[in-house]
Amino acid sequence: MADILIPASDDFEAWPRTSDVCLAVDWDGTCKDTMVPKWAQGFNLAITEIWPQLKPHQAEIDRACYEVNITDPATAGVQRFVALMIMMQRWAHQGLPVPDLSAFFAAVQHVEASGEQHGVATYVKYCDRFGYDDSPLRWSEASDRLIARAVTGARLFAGVRDTLAAVRPLADVVVVSASKTEAVRQDILDEGMTDLFAALLAQDFLPKRGILGGLARRYGRVLFVADTQRDVLAAATHGIPVYLIRPGDEDASWLAARPVFERFIDGHDCADALLYS
């Protein structure tokens, strides 16, 4: 099977535009049930691996990881280093023996404000300027190792493959993800779905908001298929409607999606099924 196209950063001309309509589809938690394993068997365990003084508090670590990244609509779906900052602040407030990562979090806030990618290379670049050690980057690497094992049995939600196969000839379909590019690429390859997407636009391309802005400039109409309120806010910045894959009701969301997508592509009113800014 052919590989999926991974454009260079900010290159929105890398794939041919075959339609005036683009479906931008999130991957983790939207197409595949990977978010819970990531935060219940990956990032959380890496916390106590890198900062062993927190091991006696694993239950509190697990709870915060799950709440901040899965159940709290205000924070679910944030980038991993932003999540680390939020969680460490929570644990410090609870009196847990957290490390002093204030210098690193100053860099995180700078990256958030500037719109740069939150990739490891960005934080390696800022290490000397902000004066932090490499423990957050080692946490990220440990998380990836644990996540690779945790998501092995993750499943595609019902209806994903058939729905995307049905609309692929009607519109340009791209993956828009904040996750690591290679991890998403490998997942799509493993699922045998590379032919369903025109391109993969992930962490190495631009932050989600920047990706959606570029798509809005290139296409007449864009629909974002996503699963968090932060995705809705990112899309609203560019006037892009969202078809929400409802957490806890993902299968039903996908099984109802095809007629909505087809109506949107045909230019019909879909206000009853989409979230508009």
Residue ranges per structural domain of the chain? 21-33+156-265, 35-150
CA distance 198 to 173: 6
What pLDDT is stored for residue 121 in this prediction? 86
What is the phi/psi pair of residue 23, to 5°? -100, 115
Where residue 151 falls among pLDDT bands split at 50, 70, 90?
confident
pLDDT tier for residue 183 given thresholds of 50, 70 and 90: confident
Q: What are phi and psi of 217, to 5 degrees?
A: -75, -30
pLDDT category of residue 1 using cuts at 50, 70 and 90: low
Sequence-separated (6 or more) residues with CB below 8 Å from residue 125? none
pLDDT reported for residue 153: 82
Percent of the chain with pLDDT over 70: 99
Number of residues that make up the chain: 277
**What was the pLDDT predicted at 252?**
97
Judged against a pLDDT cut of 90, whether residue 199 lies above it is answered with: yes
Half-sphere CA count of 2, side-chain side, radius 13 A = 9
CATH class held by domain 21-33+156-265 = alpha beta
Amino acid at 153: G
> For residue 277, what pLDDT is reported?
66
Task: Work out the mean pLDDT of the chain and round it to a whole number.
Answer: 94
Specify whether the CB–CB gap between 96 and 64 falls below 8 A: no
Mean pLDDT of 82-94: 96
Helix (H, G, I), strand (E, B) or coil at 28: strand
Q: Taking residues 134-161, report their average pLDDT.
A: 92
